Amino acid sequence: MRPILRWFLFTACLVVFTAAMLWISARILDLEGQRQRTAEEAQVQEKVRLALWRMDSLASALLIRENSRPAWHYQAFYAPDDLFASSTQSIPKGQALMPSPLFGSLPDLVRLNFEIVSGTYASPQAPAGQQRELASNWYASSPETAQAMDKLNQLRALLIEHPEMQLPLSVGQSPPPGKAVGDKAKTAELKKDTVDMQMISNAVEQTQRSQIITRNLMAEKAEISNAPLKKIAPAPAAAPKPEVASRGSSDRSRSPLDAVKDLYHESRRGEETSASGSAMTDDSLPARPGSSAPAQRQSLPGLAGDLRAVWADQELLLVRQASLEGVTRLQGVWLDWPLLQNRLLEAVRDLLPEAKLISLSPELARTDAAALVTLPVKLLTGKVPIIQLDGGSPLMPALAIAWACLIAAALAIAFVLHRAVLLSERRGAFVSAVTHELRTPLTTFRLYSEMLADDMVPAPERRREYLTTLCDESTRLMHLVENVLSFSRIERGRTAARMELVSVESLIQRIEPRLRQRTDQVGLLLKTDVNHEAGLACVKVDALAVEQVLFNLTDNACKYAAPDSDPQELHLSVVVEGREVRFTLRDFGPGLSIQARKKLFQPFAKSATEAAHSAPGVGLGLALCRRLARELGGSLTHQAVSGRGACFCLSLPRQA
């Protein structure tokens, strides 16, 4: 197979695998991005869930507190039940008045408590009419009362613009906070094939919050509305009717409190009469001081629904319908929304530092998963801080390893392919060069042997010349075969060096005759220079390998440098440098070109064309010499020289 076809197939396979890896990487990165987005969304949803729980907990405490107030607390003064003067006497209802817990003070987060009866606005913090007269007689006036009156006027103007708020649900008909949310959760569960699972989770979460808060409200209300103990003591006798001379003298002898009580009794009797009609008897009315009616006790009638939050412009109100002494009324709490909003946001500042609350209609709040259950407000998260998970994803290291393996495999295959192509080219060049080198001596052998066998060379001098030529060709052929076999053994790692400790002087004496014989054939003068220190130095080498290296260097000098050598000399010098013994062989021929230096030590670097137009050889000598030098623990290098020629240095380790 041609090298270009091999490289084409390799490139095509590499492109296919790279495209597959790119697709896999894109999918993995997409999945990783989805995983990260899912993890971040999960963190956001978890923080939102915790924030809603915290805010609903705070708001539910406020809602439970206000929802547990009985209906009569919305009056500045009310006539309580179950008052006793002693162990055997009870105080009839109406004989004593008690101030409301809301009178004179505002609960936390409340701007005003109010009630609307037949279009009349009243507040326990701002008593009006007879209750105001009673308050002024027994309590010192305070600026809070005037402020409460101003707030009541503001509230009246606000509610006039929203008449729909004066028509609440009937008592006991307020829907539980979680009903609509539960319906939404059921609807989401039925449509779970088309609705996002996170929406279902949010709806279920809102339902759970609503159920818990609803149970707390119902439990608190049930505890407040527990029936009192059953009374078994007999009712005390009516107080004796005091004798009065006349109404005028009586009025002069009574205190201002008695006058206020009379006014209060008259107003209460009128309300009861209008509410109950002819069904009510005189015995059900509280006895006035000085009247002859018996003082019968009655339980204080009162029924209140659940507070529900509504918006009036930007003001948040809690309203409910209540029935007190047969009269239906609208009671409510005007909340301080800016302060409440700050407290709610401060409670979740660590989770959602940029959170905001916006108003919603109660209908939308019941179906919005981001809305509070207790109040019609929606949570806007803003920018949520995301905690980056340590360690990252295991997919990214796996993807990096896969790419590294692909690149390593591609490089390895490319390297192997390159070496295979190079080996193939060298094999082809070697076969071509060896064929040329073998054909020349074999042709000479055949031609001269036939001529000698047929007695075609009768002259003894010519016969001797032919025999000498045959001997030289056989020597060259033997040298070629010996180099090829030595290189093959080294390539297979089957070198069997016979290492021996020998002095440099004796080594040179053993090698020099063969080198000189080769130089004499081409007319070169071999000059050997071994100084005294180098001659006494010892090296542990294979003498035959050293001889083969130096002979190959000498043979190359004879083939390439001798025809154009000036002077016709070849210098062999041996010196000791440190722990090395250096054999330097220099000729004075034309030297080596830059291109020749690049492939100087490459095996089979000479093609058949180069072999045909140059000195005999297959380009294996220098490569074999370097391999033999390394097998001996040394090195073979080419050294630059000034002037003509080439210089090679064989370095061998010196033995102590």
Closest CA to 332 of 311, 342, 318: 318
Using the predicted structure, report yes or no on whether residue 7 has a pLDDT greater than 90.
Answer: no
Model confidence pLDDT, tens digit, residues 379-391: 999 998 888 766 5
DSSP per position, 139-171: S---HHHHHHHHHHHHHHHHHHS-GGGGS-PPT
Q: Which two tokens stand for residue 29?
A: 């990165």
How far is Cα 347 from Cα 358, in angstroms, rounded to an integer? 16
Sign of the alpha-carbon dihedral angle for 467, 470, 471, 472? positive
Using the predicted structure, report yes or no on whether residue 372 has a pLDDT greater than 50.
Answer: yes
Q: What number is the average pLDDT over the span 591-613? A: 68
Q: State which of 437-441, 593-597, 633-637 shows the largest mean pLDDT.
A: 633-637
Q: Residue with structure tokens 């060896």?
A: 434
415-655: CATH architecture: 2-Layer Sandwich (3.30)
> Phi and psi at residue 301, in whole multiples of 5°?
-75, 135
Q: Residue with structure tokens 């940029």?
A: 354
Which of 279-293, 352-366, 602-616 is least confident? 279-293
Using the predicted structure, report yes or no on whether residue 173 has a pLDDT greater than 60.
Answer: no
What confidence score (pLDDT) does residue 246 get? 39
Higher pLDDT, 490 or 299: 490
Q: What number is the average pLDDT over the span 50-72? A: 90
User: What does the domain layout of the chain look like in residue ranges?
Assistant: 70-174+255-335, 415-655
What confidence score (pLDDT) does residue 216 get? 65
Q: What number is the average pLDDT over the span 620-645? A: 87
pLDDT band at residue 650, thresholds of 50, 70 and 90?
Answer: very high
How far is Cα 555 from Cα 519, in angstroms, rounded to an integer? 8
Residue 566: half-sphere exposure toward Cβ, Cα within 13 Å: 4
Higher pLDDT, 434 or 32: 32
Using the predicted structure, report yes or no on whether residue 15 has a pLDDT greater than 90.
Answer: yes
Q: What number is the average pLDDT over the span 244-264? A: 45
Model confidence pLDDT, tens digit, residues 22-32: 999 999 889 88
Model confidence pLDDT, tens digit, residues 538-577: 999 988 889 889 998 998 888 888 888 888 999 999 999 9
CA–chain centroid gap for 390, Å, is 8
Residue 59, CA distances (Å) to 63, 102, 331, 441, 550 in order: 6, 20, 19, 112, 102
pLDDT band at residue 652, thresholds of 50, 70 and 90?
Answer: very high
How far is Cα 165 from Cα 362, in angstroms, rounded to an integer? 12
Residue 35, CA distances (Å) to 38, 67, 198, 381, 600 in order: 5, 46, 15, 21, 59
As beta bridge partners, residue 586 has: 571, 647
> In 3-state terms, what secondary structure has residue 584?
strand
Q: Residue with structure tokens 């692909």?
A: 406
What confidence score (pLDDT) does residue 618 get? 61
pLDDT band at residue 141, thresholds of 50, 70 and 90?
Answer: low
pTM for the whole structure: 0.53
Q: Which two tokens stand for residue 488?
A: 């093959």
- In the chain, the amino acid numbered 79 is A
Q: Which two tokens stand for residue 418?
A: 């390159």
Contact predicate 639/647, CB 8 Å: yes
What confidence score (pLDDT) does residue 570 get? 92
How far is Cα 420 from Cα 398, in angstroms, rounded to an integer? 32
Please compute Rg for the chain using Cα positions. 59
Q: Residue with structure tokens 């190959």?
A: 552
pLDDT band at residue 286, thresholds of 50, 70 and 90?
Answer: very low
What confidence score (pLDDT) does residue 617 get? 60
Q: Residue with structure tokens 């103007």?
A: 157
Q: What number is the average pLDDT over the span 101-126? A: 89
Structure-derived torsion over alpha carbons of residues 410, 415, 421, 424, reported in degrees to the nearest 10: -140
What confidence score (pLDDT) does residue 506 get? 92
Which of 164-173, 314-323, 357-366 is least confident? 164-173
How far is Cα 160 from Cα 195, in angstroms, rounded to an integer? 43
Which of 154-168, 406-420, 567-581 is least confident? 154-168
Closest CA to 375 of 329, 307, 322, 320: 307
Q: How crowded is residue 114: how many other Cβ atoms within 10 Å of its Cβ?
A: 25
pLDDT band at residue 355, thresholds of 50, 70 and 90?
Answer: very high
pLDDT band at residue 525, thresholds of 50, 70 and 90?
Answer: very high
How far is Cα 560 from Cα 591, in angstroms, rounded to an integer? 9
Mean pLDDT for all residues in the chain: 77
How far is Cα 95 from Cα 410, in angstroms, rounded to an integer? 105
Using the predicted structure, report yes or no on whether residue 59 has a pLDDT greater than 80.
Answer: yes
Higher pLDDT, 408 or 475: 408
Model confidence pLDDT, tens digit, residues 180-239: 444 444 444 444 443 455 556 666 666 766 677 776 666 665 655 554 555 554 544 444
What confidence score (pLDDT) does residue 464 get? 84
Q: What number is the average pLDDT over the span 37-57? A: 89
% residues pLDDT > 70 (the chain): 73
Contact predicate 97/216, CB 8 Å: no
Model confidence pLDDT, tens digit, residues 266-278: 545 544 444 444 3
Using the predicted structure, report yes or no on whether residue 92 has a pLDDT greater than 70.
Answer: yes
What confidence score (pLDDT) does residue 378 get? 93
How far is Cα 509 from Cα 535, in angstroms, rounded to an integer? 10
Contact predicate 108/327, CB 8 Å: no
Model confidence pLDDT, tens digit, residues 228-253: 555 554 544 444 444 433 344 444 44
What confidence score (pLDDT) does residue 538 get? 92
**Which helix (H) or strand (E) segment is 28 a member of?**
helix 3-67
Q: Which two tokens stand for residue 85?
A: 């003067």
Residue 533, CA distances (Å) to 512, 541, 632 in order: 19, 18, 21
Closest CA to 95 of 113, 111, 82: 82
DSSP 3-state helix, strand, coil percentages of the chain (rounded to 5)?
A: 55, 15, 30
Q: What number is the average pLDDT over the span 74-89? A: 77
Looking at residue 55, the DSSP 8-state letter turns out to be H
As beta bridge partners, residue 541 has: 500
